[in-house]
Amino acid sequence: MSPKEITKVDMTNEVFKEPIEVIKQLSDNLDLKYTKVIQTYVMEDRRLNLSLEHQGSSYFKGKVVWIGNKKDDTEGSIFCVDTKDELKQINPNAENTEKVILDIKKELIRVKTVSKTKCSVCGKNIEIFDELTGCPICEAKAHKDHLIDWVRMKHSCPVCKKSLNVSSTGVIFID
């Protein structure tokens, strides 16, 4: 197969790593214009589409507005997507995303979602719109807000019970 015939690129690893990796992958395949504002890549034209898919059908679609890093500086990329009705942030990670495919012809990022992990605080699934965090000791996963609230109140992990604390910027650390 010649390179011209490649129309789909797997960019799962890049998305799990950091925004610059995603931008590199996108720029290699699409004529993309963006402006870098601190750690965020703002799209200059709203051509790039993003869809969330589950079991082969799309349940969410919009235009990518920006791609940025996580506020707590952990690995991963956040996508801000304009659905025309609202701006939504997508937080793909290994717990909620099976695969991320770039469809070059359609200028579309297809995110195949799964719900693999339940929050160790509330017990509900961690979905792609949710911000994820984990215990730095046992790596139990949780909704970010839920674990931060828990640690602020109890100063320990809900799973391994080890001593934890939260910084003013919302980073959970071993106390």
Is 78 a binder of Zn ion (CB under 5 A)? no
Q: Which stretch binds Zn ion (CB under 5 A): 20-28, 37-45, 50-58, 157-165?
A: 157-165
CB atoms within 10 A of CB 117: 17
Q: By CB under 5 A, name the one of 22, 43, 102, 121 that touches Zn ion.
A: 121
Helix (H, G, I), strand (E, B) or coil at 149: helix
Is 160 a binder of Zn ion (CB under 5 A)? yes
Is 141 a binder of Zn ion (CB under 5 A)? no
Is 159 a binder of Zn ion (CB under 5 A)? yes
Is 122 a binder of Zn ion (CB under 5 A)? yes
CB atoms within 10 A of CB 62: 21
Q: What residue has token string 């790039």?
A: 48
Q: By CB under 5 A, name the one of 135, 151, 166, 172 that touches Zn ion.
A: 135
Is 174 a binder of Zn ion (CB under 5 A)? no
How far, in Å, CA of 26 to CA of 117, rounded? 29
Question: Pattern 98-117, binding to Zn ion, x per CB under 5 A?
Answer: --------------------
Is 166 a binder of Zn ion (CB under 5 A)? no
| Per-position b or e across 31-60, b if 16+ CB within 10 A of its CB | ebebeeeeebbebeeeebbbbbbeeeeeeb
Which residues are within 8 A (CB) of 2 and not within 5 positions of it... i.e. 6 or more apart?
A: none
Is 70 a binder of Zn ion (CB under 5 A)? no
**Interacting residues with Zn ion (CB under 5 A):** 119, 121-122, 135, 137-138, 140, 143, 146, 157, 159-160
